[in-house]
Amino acid sequence: MQKPHFIFTKKINSFSVHVENLEKLHVKQIQVIQDFVSARNGYFDFNTYTFTIKKNLEFQEFVKLLKTLHVDSVIEEKTLHLKNNARIEFGQYKGMFYNELPDSYLLWLKNNYIGKDREILCDEITSRNL
């Protein structure tokens, strides 16, 4: 049985985790991940294989938590690099940098937003390989 491969990305007041090999996991493994996210009031986006939890958690704390819960997995850390300092000027994420937005929200914006920061939005989506 293949281990889940998590890519942890720290953000300002939260973190997100991309499950690199979600489509290769067994249903029971996916249910364990989904339960983990639900228990922490997080959101799992099955379109991008990414979950977000609004909690300030460091990478090492995440690793310890998974070990405590006996979730056997491969875990790596991804560092965000600020390419620009543009902040979103509307909605629930107003004031955050574009590179701090959840993947699911970026994809929603791609399909629903045509404002002045469209190029920044598209650049961020491209840099995340979404």
Domain residue limits at 98: 82-130
- Structural domains in the chain (count): 2
* Same domain as 73, residue 9: yes
- Give the whole-angstrom CA distance, residue 20 versus residue 37: 16
| Full-model pTM | 0.65
Say what the pLDDT of residue 115 is: 84
Say what the pLDDT of residue 24 is: 94
Low-confidence ranges of the chain (pLDDT < 50): none
* Same domain as 93, residue 63: no
Say what the pLDDT of residue 84 is: 59
Say what the pLDDT of residue 7 is: 93
Asked if residues 107 and 48 have their Cβ atoms less than 8 Å apart, the reply is yes
* Same domain as 10, residue 40: yes
